[in-house]
Amino acid sequence: MNTGFDLPFELPNIPEPVFPKRIFNIRDYGATPDGRTLNTKAFRMAVADCQAQGGGSIRVPEGDWLTGPIHLRSNIRLHLERGALMRFSTCFEDYLPVVFTRWEGVECYNYSPLIYAIDCENVAVTGEGTFDGQGQAWWHWKQLQHPAAKELYHAQYNGIPAEKRIFGSEEKALRPQFLQTIRCRNVLFEGVTFINGPMWTMHPVYCENVIIRDVTVITTGPNGDGLNPDSCRNVLVEGCNFDTGDDCIAINSGMNEDGWRVGVPCEYIHIRNCTMSEGHGAISIGSGMSGGVRNLYAHDCIVTGGDQGIRIKSMRGRGIKVQCRP
């Protein structure tokens, strides 16, 4: 990629995912846009039908749509049209059974993220609509999570396998992420607005070829990061707007022993033409960066508020190597 600057590394050209032209309108599966009817079953049926027919776009037209978690599959685009508001259930049990996740740098099984994809190729969330995580229902868990977080950190320190690190209860109180893709290839988030997630907003993990373009994140809750590329390779972030209760963009690669065990860096990250109006750090590295961070390039961003523009954070004994060029 030619940036017009003398870079110490070559930035890759990241391919955009391509989808079949088939359209699956959520209305055709019985979904009701009254803001009260839970449409989880309709979304599951649409995803299953789309997958069975080889992929396409799930269209969410104008309206107020209430749903539980949405699990995407390969070759599927979730598309919100202008005027579409998708609000997520505040019933915690709707996000069970537990799924594999990486929670603040440590692998475990926890509540499903609100939008989730694992082991997929060609997956996207696009449009001009708004996702409302209704995270206020979860935010008080920040004060309750400390025993479970400590349990999780001790589990990874003691080498307990991830499949035995089971959480996903109100007693454990580990909040789910808003949008998480795990071990996916060719990922696109474009155009949509995210407001008020339970915690981290966009969280690609172990992904390759990720484009985040023209997305707006507005969230004031605790740990309300805007974007957390986590042990990913080839990530382009452009034209996005962040107003967050924590870091706007935080580059991660795992925490402590678990990050060393997985050993996957976050690398070839290109950030450009973004606006950060509020956040602890506009562009942060860490604190979970035990897999290493390298080949990060950011330019032409506007930072109008928050604590720091560039924030590099870790703790004694955690890190491996950070290689970046602001």
Among 56-60, 157-161, 252-256, 280-284, the range scoring the smallest mean pLDDT is 280-284
User: Tokens 């109006």, residue?
Assistant: 277
Predicted confidence (pLDDT) at residue 176 exceeds the cutoff of 90? yes
Q: How far apart are the first and last CA of the chain?
A: 17
pLDDT band at 164 (very low <50, low <70, confident <90, very high): very high
Predicted confidence (pLDDT) at residue 8 exceeds the cutoff of 80? no
Q: What is the spatial distance between Cα 69 and Cα 237, in angstroms, rounded to a whole number?
A: 25
The single-letter DSSP state of residue 11 is P
- Whole-prediction pTM: 0.95
CATH no. of 23-325: 2.160.20.10
What is the model's pLDDT at position 150?
96
Mean model confidence pLDDT for the chain: 93
* Residue pLDDT, tens place only, 101-153: 999 999 999 999 999 999 999 999 999 999 999 999 999 999 999 999 999 99
Among 22-31, 125-134, 178-187, 309-318, the range scoring the smallest mean pLDDT is 309-318
Predicted confidence (pLDDT) at residue 279 exceeds the cutoff of 90? no
* Residue pLDDT, tens place only, 184-231: 999 999 999 999 999 999 999 999 999 999 999 999 999 999 999 999
What number of CA atoms fall less than 13 Å from residue 209's CA on the CB side?
15
What is the model's pLDDT at position 310?
80
What is the model's pLDDT at position 274?
97
Predicted confidence (pLDDT) at residue 32 exceeds the cutoff of 60? yes
Q: What is the spatial distance between Cα 96 and Cα 87, in angstroms, rounded to a whole number?
A: 18
Residue predicted with more confidence, 43 or 317: 43
Q: What is the spatial distance between Cα 51 and Cα 73, in angstroms, rounded to a whole number?
A: 7
Q: What is the mean pLDDT of residues 274-294?
A: 87
**Distance between alpha carbon 130 and the CA centroid of its chain, in Å?**
15
* Residue pLDDT, tens place only, 79-92: 999 999 999 999 99
What is the amino acid identity at position 22?
R
* Residue pLDDT, tens place only, 33-81: 999 999 999 999 999 999 999 999 999 999 999 999 999 999 999 999 9
* Residue pLDDT, tens place only, 236-278: 999 999 999 889 999 999 999 999 999 999 999 999 999 998 7
Which candidate, 152, 24, 147, 169, places its Cα nearest to that of 95? 169
Q: What is the spatial distance between Cα 244 and Cα 217, in angstroms, rounded to a whole number?
A: 7
What number of CA atoms fall less than 13 Å from residue 219's CA on the CB side?
33
The single-letter DSSP state of residue 256 is H
User: Tokens 């992420």, residue?
Assistant: 177
